[in-house]
Structure 1
Amino acid sequence: MKLSSSAYLRAAVSLCSLLAWTAGAHAESVERAPDAPNAAAPDAAETAEVSGDIIVTAQRRDEKLQSVPIAISALTSDTLSGRGVVTLSSISQVAPSLNVKSYPASGDTLSLNMRGQGIADSGQITKDGGVGLYIDGFYIARPQGVLFDVGDPERVEVLRGPQGTLYGRNTTGGAINIITKKPSGEFGGRVSATYGSRDFVRGTASIDLPAIGNIAVRGTIAYTDKPGWVKNQGGNNRYHDFGQLAGRVAARWTPSADVTVDYAYARGRVTTTPAYFVNPSFVGSLPGYVATRDQTWTALPLPESESNFVDHQLTGQFDVSDFLTIRSLSAYRGSTSHQFVNYSVALTAPTFPVGLTGQEDYRSKQYSQEFQLIGEIGDRFSYTGGLFYARETGRHDKLQDQFLIPFNRHVISTRWVEAKSTSYAAYLQGTITPPVLDDRMKLTLGARYTSDKRSATRNSLVNGNPVEVNARNSQSFENFSPAATLAMQWTPNILTYVKVSKGYKAGGSSEAAPVFANTFNPEKITSYEAGLKSQFFDNAVTFNVTAFHNVFNDLQIDFVTDPANPAVVSTINAGKAHVNGFEVDLTIKPSSNFSVRAAYSYLDPKVKQVLAPAGTIFDRLRNPASPFSVGDDVTRYFTLPFAPTNALSVSGDWTFLQFGENELSFHANYSYEDAVYTIATAGPAVRGRDLHASEPLERVDLRLTWATQLINDRRARLSFFANNVFDNRAAQFTIAGGSPLTGYVRQAAPYSEPRVLGIEANIEF
């Protein structure tokens, strides 16, 4: 049964009320002693938070953030809640090297990019992205219906650069790992409610139940109803709507001091509408067309899109001894997504306006199994090894209805693609501490062998007539990715390291290619990195900097292959590229009541070589108007998309008033991101290339919070917030009309969200 938004809200409010009542009824009778016999031991990360250290598990073991010789950002639960970070896209405002956007065709599909690496079309099931997304170490293959706050995150780790040695899938850009809070075995919980502009409502609740024997259980629920900011003039839904109702139950079983078993079950529903594209070139050409970013030019049919997902995650850990741990990670994720789009005429030309509407359906199932061996041999050698297996099956149905306005005729194209992929991997990483320099030097060597297999089938119709029947492709790849890191702990608070690593992104096929049998091969990267991690003045100042030089071979680039139809796109291994850059992270905390943090990312991407491939618009046999032949140098027609030259985040936190059990604090965050090109074929030789560039994105967020201590150790917070307080708006995910050979001549783009004002209440018990 499909629930209405009001039913969602009633369900969430009812649960929040129940949890609050439970807190009052049982708080007096539950002992909170940390040494209670039935209480699960707290995670190392939770213990470290109290002492001011951040513990991360980026290398599959608990380590202090400042002692890990890799480029990583970590955001704790206190940081996330204090800044109002409740979505994955919000993370990029505090970790500027990460670029997270909602794909314009659907608000529930994410586009992830880091260090100039990602994927141009995150809706395709026949290819992989350059940035891996994980929840508690479990890889999420498809970006539809991924929610940030279902598991009540304990922290988020953003790993920058190739991840080929330890993580579940090889990625060339980086990885995001969301670590959820585990059951504690002690009674407690949290209830949160938010109300904001445009009747934005959000509610979350979590509860930890007292342990029963050696089993502890924790449950969370999250509800959001966020109406979109583009009114549909007379239509049934707004553009940019977002809603969710999701829940998660986590259980921890500790049959002995050496064995821990964690199981989590999550289920959720996400409802969205797509982005609204504005095309000023239609003003004066199409009667009644108005290029406004906050209201459609006419009433547009816009059904609501819906995604559903279910997750099962099982982690078993056996501490064989103080020097050896065996871990097993088993997971299943199933998801379905029904997406509806209505671009109106925005993606076409005023000389021949075409109304574009469509529907996309996704079904995906993924299974993964990983075994890890984590141990130490003496005091000078530690290691992590493992085996990884993943299998994914999926189907993507795409229906596009083109209403040819000059001819008053519909052309309906239907395409369905079925895909299957399997991945096998073995990895080993070891760290040696040689008996020199007072044990301050460490050498880490690692390697990963991966075997990938992919296959896909495509069928297509036009106006009900078969165009393609069971077109197939099949591929297999093998890759060996080594890595080496040399780290030097000069003082207890100053660490430097150099790192060389290789990574790869598996090959695949393009769903929109003219010939489905034409596939592309893996993309490979060699990364050279140097870093400094330091703290000064009794840890009041933290200064970390990383510089890198990435070399790409067999670069995967998307090409328009039909000069008359820009929707026909192939992905081809066509080039080489270098990405140079550096990242700076500075935190100044002169007292416990005041801190300032600045993070900066600089990228200098250069496409070094692209030779005109056969079967593209650069091929005279395919496009007689092309001035090039196959094999000619067309490098200057290309750039790396979604790679901002400058990205910056500056924030401050100040507890400026304390009286009794009360305190007032203020948080401010400024974030900036340079313009990025949204397509590879926007190089310096292309006329009108800036029409394929998004506008710089700049925003200021403010938050004022009153916190107080209630009876029975309960805490309450009331926050007033203003997101994008100066109402800066920017064109994002721009799409230009024209061709890289003849130049781009017009632009269509959706705009970023306007200012949001609101209030948030939290109670912890």
Structure 2
Amino acid sequence: MNKTLFATLPLALSVAGLTASAQAQNNSDSSSQSWALEEVMVTAQRRSENSQDIPMAVSSLNAEALQKIGFSSLRDIADKIPALNIQPDYERASALKVYIRGVGQEKPANFERDNGVGIYLDDIYVGHGNGLAAEMNDVERIEVLAGPQGILYGRNTIGGAVKFISAKPTGEFGIKQELDVGNYDLIRSTTHLNLPTTANISSKLTLLKSHKDGWVKNSGRGGNPGDKEATGYRAALRWEPSDQWLVDYTFDKVDQDSVSGYQQHSYPMFATHLTAFKVYKDRQKKTWRPIDLDIRDDFKTEGHALTAQWLFADNMSLKSITGYREFSGDSLQDGAESFNVSTLVTNAVEQDQFSQEFLLSGENADGSIKYHTGLYYFKEQAKQQEAELVSNYDVADAINSALLAGEPIAPPALSDLRPENHYDIENKSRAIYAQVTWNPAAFDHRLTLDLGARYTEDERSLGWIKPINAGGPFPIENKDDFEADSFDPAFTVDWAWTDSIHTYFRYAQAYRSGGFDTGAERLQAFDSEELESFELGFKSKMLDNKLLFNVAVFDLDYKDIQIQFFDPGLAADEPPAKVTVNGAKASTQGIEFELQYMPTANLMLRAAGAYLESDSTVTNPFTGETGDRPLFNTPKLKYNLEADYTFADTRFGTVSGILSYDYRDEELGAGNTDEKDVKPDYALVNARLMLSQIPVAVGELDLALWSKNLLDEEYETYHAFGAVVYGEPRTVGISLTYQF
């Protein structure tokens, strides 16, 4: 463990002592002021608790907060939680790269690798990054847990977890209609219908329709980059046959047709001998040449979740969590010479997954000992077909020659694609995990100890059929298996200075299974990763619960990182190929903080930030070269500031506004090999002006004017090898919510 972390311990204890004294003094003063920060209840530890009481870094956004940021997909929370970093894949914007504290997944569209960050929909693990940009509806709360979570959740998650908790049926008749209209022809409608309880069954139906045009105009016949149209459905049933039983069933489905972002040639790097392609250093709102191909990033995803909880004793329960999900996708991306060469990539995938988890939870009579233990099974099957044209110099030179001669260019066609690779993938995982929490009577119940462990077995199978040429059959067929297992312990020591101030130390160990790389030119397995996490945290509420201040200092020891290199093929039986190997290690230290202050009943101020230093060493096994470079998709500094103010209560309703400033430091984009070729820093300003509780004859009506990227900042979501993808320019709109 790094000495820097130990050095912070005396400081944290001193701060805790000072704030505890301040809290005690404050509590001794009588005050007529009645406002206070709202308590946030979460289920991060598989039981409902105040987030301030949990000895780990947890961030939460409730339904009100999600409404204020205009939440519609996972990407919308990326700038609101400093420890979390989310970027779309440059070829398939529907697949998201999700990172926490520098741990994530470089290639989110691949099924043969585990995510670095676990995504959970109502406790059902989503086994891949495909479709994570889907339009979402009926989300009641989002919880983000930093650090390994293997002893708390069914799937082993090495970097952290993002939990989506859906709203449950109310059991009473009610309708809620949400409508957003904005520029780029945005229209998004979400309808919620709650039905009365019948035969102890409550039900809720949700319908989503969404449309938005891309902000980059395609001068050809294909779609506009950024186009999106989605339809979503969700049905939820809750059955309460007795006080001992609670059964929840949900079905969700999203059908989304879209086009990935526009890749533009922004600086010369790859294939620099081709110089005729124009370099665009600023954000372009029109494709540099016509794209007539049917570019697309379409997918369908649906899932079933069945959760049954049996309270078979006053303080013991057994929960069964069963999930089944399907995904299918079809994409075609024309890189429009953004890499200074022609690129076409087509991909078709089908995937299904099944998971079963049993969770036994309980506590002793006086509540001093709490425990849970779980069994978990996961199986995933996928079929993937992909073909690409990358650095096809015949086509690139033809375009180059046409440009030099002043003639119309001849863009690449589907006939230029190389033959498809076919993959059959099967992943299985089995695990047992447990955690015991002890809060002894000694020390006046100020000390709490957590001890947990997890044992995991993973199995992977990959079948690969690779053609030799476009006109022939598929003579090269490979199939291989991979197995791994790991025992990962964790423990936490928590000390409460007062009822609202405590300090904790948490140690956790985790691993990510090895496997295969479907993006490589040959079938080659890579081994598992290992990570140790040390975290020292301080959580507090002061000034009659008007001030919240949390800070966490962490140290990560990350080994055998899976990374891709080019193998020149020196061995006679191994041709040149891109392959994934365990070629890096990292020592990472960082600090995260959260501050909320409510000086008056009308004003809420928030600030949160994260600073991360990483010493990452990368060794190329084929050349022997060793060097240092930053972790992918992990800025050193990331923070957000927010002010939420209620101006007045009028006879027309309550007027309030929220203004936020989100900053992200420069960073190395996923897959980039030049540590100096970084994505620039940027800051986004978002604003929302609301008129709520508008008087109407029946029900409630709210109205809001909003803008995202209010100052029209030019910022990049991808930057590597000469290509850049820019984020959205300024968007504005109106939101209307009616319910009764």
Shorter-chain TM-score range: 0.7 to 0.9
- State which of 248, 265, 276 in structure 2 corresponds to 1:286: 276
Name the CA shift for 1:607/1:710 in 2 (closer, same or farther; >3 Å): same
Greater alpha carbon shift after TM alignment, 86-95 vs 147-156: 147-156
CA positional deviation for 1:563 = 9.6
In the alignment, what sits opposite 1:732? 717
Residues of 1 paired with 2:241 and 2:137: CA distance?
Answer: 24
Residues of 2 paired with 1:151 and 1:216: CA distance?
Answer: 19
SS at the partner of 2:647? strand
- State which of 421, 431, 435 in structure 1 corresponds to 2:437: 431
- State which of 428, 433, 450 in structure 1 corresponds to 2:456: 450
Question: So what's the TM-score if we normalise by structure 2?
Answer: 0.88
* Cα displacement string for residues 613-643 of structure 1 (whole angstroms, at most 9, x for unaligned residues): 1xx4x2xxxxxxxxxxxxx45133x431111
CA positional deviation for 1:513 = 2.4
Question: So what's the TM-score if we normalise by structure 1?
Answer: 0.85
SS at the partner of 1:749? strand
Residues of 2 paired with 1:444 and 1:137: CA distance?
Answer: 22
* Cα displacement string for residues 254-292 of structure 1 (whole angstroms, at most 9, x for unaligned residues): 111110110001111011112211114579943788666
Name the CA shift for 1:486/1:297 in 2 (closer, same or farther; >3 Å): same
In the alignment, what sits opposite 1:645? 636
- State which of 600, 609, 612 in structure 1 corresponds to 2:620: 612
- AA aligned opposite 2:276: L
CA positional deviation for 1:401 = 3.7
Q: Is the 8 A contact 2:450 2:492 kept in 1?
A: yes
- State which of 381, 397, 413 in structure 1 corresponds to 2:385: 397
Name the CA shift for 1:289/1:711 in 2 (closer, same or farther; >3 Å): closer
CA positional deviation for 1:473 = 1.8
- AA aligned opposite 1:653: D
* Cα displacement string for residues 386-413 of structure 1 (whole angstroms, at most 9, x for unaligned residues): 1000000001111224563236893523
CA positional deviation for 1:698 = 1.4
Residues of 2 paired with 1:541 and 1:249: CA distance?
Answer: 39
Q: Is 1:249 equivalent to 2:235 in the alignment?
A: yes
Residues of 2 paired with 1:498 and 1:762: CA distance?
Answer: 44
* Cα displacement string for residues 401-459 of structure 1 (whole angstroms, at most 9, x for unaligned residues): 45632368935232111110100000110001122110111000000110100010111
Residues of 2 paired with 1:107 and 1:679: CA distance?
Answer: 14
Q: Is 1:749 equivalent to 2:736 in the alignment?
A: no
- State which of 157, 182, 205 in structure 2 corresponds to 1:171: 157
- AA aligned opposite 1:181: A
Residues of 2 paired with 1:567 and 1:177: CA distance?
Answer: 41
- State which of 358, 362, 375 in structure 1 corresponds to 2:345: 358
Q: Is the 8 A contact 1:523 1:553 kept in 2?
A: yes
In the alignment, what sits opposite 1:581? 590
In the alignment, what sits opposite 1:475? 482
Residues of 2 paired with 1:714 and 1:302: CA distance?
Answer: 49
In the alignment, what sits opposite 2:360? 373
- AA aligned opposite 2:586: A
Name the CA shift for 1:287/1:499 in 2 (closer, same or farther; >3 Å): closer
- AA aligned opposite 1:656: F
* Cα displacement string for residues 308-333 of structure 1 (whole angstroms, at most 9, x for unaligned residues): 11211000011112210110000100
Residues of 1 paired with 2:642 and 2:528: CA distance?
Answer: 39
Residues of 2 paired with 1:269 and 1:713: CA distance?
Answer: 34
Matches within 5 A, 1:62-77: 62-77=48-63
In the alignment, what sits opposite 2:528? 522
- State which of 655, 659, 662 in structure 1 corresponds to 2:646: 655
SS at the partner of 2:302? strand
Q: Is the 8 A contact 2:611 2:637 kept in 1?
A: yes
Name the CA shift for 1:137/1:757 in 2 (closer, same or farther; >3 Å): same
Q: Is 1:493 equivalent to 2:484 in the alignment?
A: no
CA RMSD of aligned residues (A): 2.3
Q: Is the 8 A contact 2:373 2:434 kept in 1?
A: yes
Residues of 2 paired with 1:764 and 1:602: CA distance?
Answer: 42
CA positional deviation for 1:665 = 0.4
CA positional deviation for 1:149 = 5.7
CA positional deviation for 1:376 = 0.4
In the alignment, what sits opposite 2:537? 531
Matches within 5 A, 1:703-718: 703-711=688-696, 714-718=699-703
Residues of 1 paired with 2:713 and 2:213: CA distance?
Answer: 19
Q: Is 1:136 equivalent to 2:122 in the alignment?
A: yes
Residues of 1 paired with 2:696 and 2:703: CA distance?
Answer: 17
Q: Is the 8 A contact 1:301 1:342 kept in 2?
A: no
Name the CA shift for 1:288/1:670 in 2 (closer, same or farther; >3 Å): closer
Name the CA shift for 1:523/1:359 in 2 (closer, same or farther; >3 Å): same
Q: Is the 8 A contact 2:154 2:374 kept in 1?
A: no
Residues of 1 paired with 2:277 and 2:526: CA distance?
Answer: 44
Name the CA shift for 1:411/1:439 in 2 (closer, same or farther; >3 Å): closer
Residues of 2 paired with 1:513 and 1:153: CA distance?
Answer: 38
- AA aligned opposite 1:225: H
In the alignment, what sits opposite 2:299? 307
Residues of 2 paired with 1:713 and 1:428: CA distance?
Answer: 50
Gap regions ≥5 residues in structure 1: 1-48, 349-353, 619-631, 737-746
- State which of 121, 146, 156 in structure 1 corresponds to 2:107: 121
In the alignment, what sits opposite 2:189? 203
Q: Is 1:296 equivalent to 2:287 in the alignment?
A: yes
Q: Is the 8 A contact 1:103 1:111 kept in 2?
A: yes
CA positional deviation for 1:464 = 3.2
- AA aligned opposite 2:227: D
Name the CA shift for 1:337/1:148 in 2 (closer, same or farther; >3 Å): closer
- State which of 509, 513, 536 in structure 2 corresponds to 1:506: 513
Residues of 2 paired with 1:464 and 1:548: CA distance?
Answer: 55
Gap regions ≥5 residues in structure 2: 1-34, 400-411
Name the CA shift for 1:413/1:529 in 2 (closer, same or farther; >3 Å): same
Name the CA shift for 1:482/1:109 in 2 (closer, same or farther; >3 Å): same
* Cα displacement string for residues 687-735 of structure 1 (whole angstroms, at most 9, x for unaligned residues): xx433x2121310001101112445662111111111011101233212
SS at the partner of 2:52? helix
- AA aligned opposite 2:370: S
Q: Is 1:385 equivalent to 2:376 in the alignment?
A: no
Name the CA shift for 1:112/1:248 in 2 (closer, same or farther; >3 Å): same
Residues of 1 paired with 2:657 and 2:68: CA distance?
Answer: 9
Residues of 1 paired with 2:659 and 2:577: CA distance?
Answer: 45
- AA aligned opposite 1:492: D
In the alignment, what sits opposite 2:661? 670
Q: Is 1:635 equivalent to 2:623 in the alignment?
A: no
* Cα displacement string for residues 527-559 of structure 1 (whole angstroms, at most 9, x for unaligned residues): 100101100111100000000000012121222
Residues of 2 paired with 1:586 and 1:504: CA distance?
Answer: 32
- AA aligned opposite 2:661: Y
